[in-house]
Structure 1
Amino acid sequence: MNNIPLTVIQHAPHIVEYRIQHPGKCGYVSLTLVVTLAVSVARSQTGSAAHKWLLLVLIPILLYWNLSRVVYESVISLYPHGLQLETHRGIRGTPLTPPFTLFISRKFIALPAIADIIINEGLRRWNVRYYLVIVCRNKANPIEPIVVHVVYSNILPQFRVLKQVYLGLHTDLFTRENKRE
């Protein structure tokens, strides 16, 4: 996970997307293997019934595993409204083919709920991992607990990439917020 590219897309004057493509290998090769395996089981007239049942159970598991891989994750800054966290799952692309998204999960965080955006560090085995966190607090009811949303939780990019996103989000949200007041 050394070279995870960050793509910054300016959709409109106040809408900026910080997208990180998953660095993993494409899924077309393993998906082709699953389809080949399914066709061979369907055409096979030899072999035991237990062997066929094992393959019929294994094929949907492998198919789900191939189709639910993370393609990319992004944070979209929607200035006066807040942030949107997205995770796109599907088939990762190759140098010749684009990625194919099948499932998208989105989470919107309103700007008044955002208390801060921080870069934190955690330990995983013998490694130090940095992660970007959005700290949310209910200003109307301070008794409620603080909620923390981890950005890029499936990819966990390097510190230099997180720092670029951190500085961009602070510029997009909090600098404009202070200028408006």
Structure 2
Amino acid sequence: MQRTRPLPDCHPEFSVIQWSSFREYRVENWRLARDGSGNVVRGATSWGWIDLCLPVVFSFIWSRFRGSTMLCAFTILVVGFTAYCRCAQVLHESVLVFPAYGIQLETHRGYPSLKPFFVSRRFIHASRLEDFIINEGLRRWNVRYYLAAVHGSSTDKITIDVAFENILPHFPVLLEVYQGVQELMFYNHTDYMHTRI
């Protein structure tokens, strides 16, 4: 395994991990501040002082209003929801490229200092993969670029799966991933049916 960071100055959250049989393009859920200060802006946060106060508030309410079922149930719901939100944060998203087999889009969720609790994977077989594109979309008043895998389904419909759909990295990261996927999946293999000239 060899890990490189092709954009270390402006996008150190992006890394390329080269394995013997596949390549992983990973974007972690943090970025550098755009003001040039070099500060890290975290997307996935660990426990803060508010989270540490929740057990104290919970124990206070529990001891005072033990007879009030509604208030205790509400408190348990608030504490449970807060714990779930902390443990279901997006830690990183990846595009794994298996030349001649297909691509896999992954989202890893969990608590920042632990292993991921939830991992969602979508595999797109090479025989169904039509193209891997950079597209643009509108989000409120902003134009955002995103990567998408265009593939056919079993009912001959065209389906689009968005890569990095939660983190939405900036264009230089998308361009690196796009070029890598195009090189490995479409241009590198002469026996593949979608080879381009």
Give the TM-score, by structure 1 length: 0.82
The answer to whether residue 148 in structure 2 is matched with residue 128 in structure 1 is no
Partner of 1:173: 185
Identity %, equivalent residues = 33
1:9-29 Cα offsets, whole Å, 9 max, x none, are 0011x3000000012344322
Q: Secondary structure at the match of 2:190?
A: helix
Q: Which has the higher contact order (CA 8 A, sep 6+)?
A: 1
Match of 1:38 among 50, 55, 61: 55
Q: Distance in 2 between matches of 1:133 and 1:54?
A: 41
Deviations 1:124-171 (A, max 9, x none): 111000000110025xx7x72101010000011111110000000111
In structure 1, how many angstroms separate the alpha carbons of the residues matched to 2:137 and 2:46?
33
Distance (whole Å) between structure 1 residues aligned to residue 115 and residue 14 of structure 2: 19
Distance 1:168 1:130 in 2: 17
In the other structure, the counterpart of 1:18 is 25
Secondary structure of 1:45's aligned partner: helix
Confirm or deny: 8 A CA contact 1:4 1:22 kept in the other structure.
no
Residue aligning to 1:95 = none
User: 1 CA distance for matches of 2:143 and 2:14?
Assistant: 21
Structure 1 pair 65–165 and aligned structure 2 pair: CA distance change class (3 A): same
Listed as ranges, the gaps of 5+ residues in structure 2 are 1-9, 31-41
2: CA distance between counterparts of 1:25 and 1:111?
Answer: 32
Task: Tell me the secondary structure at the aligned position of residue 177 of structure 1.
Answer: coil
**Aligned partner letter, 2:45:** G
8 Å Cα contact 1:84/1:107 also seen in 2 = yes
In the alignment, structure 1 residue 108 sits paired with structure 2 residue 123: yes
**RMSD (Å) for aligned C-alpha atoms:** 2.5
Q: Tell me the secondary structure at the aligned position of residue 64 of structure 2.
A: coil
* Matches of 2:146 and 2:115, distance apart in 1: 26
- Tell me the TM-score normalised to structure 2 length: 0.76
Contact 1:4 1:157 in 2 (8 A): no
Q: How far apart are residue 80 of structure 1 and its match?
A: 1.7
Structure with a larger share of its residues in helix: 1
For these two proteins, the number of residue pairs brought into alignment is 170
- Which residue pairs with 2:78 in the alignment? 58
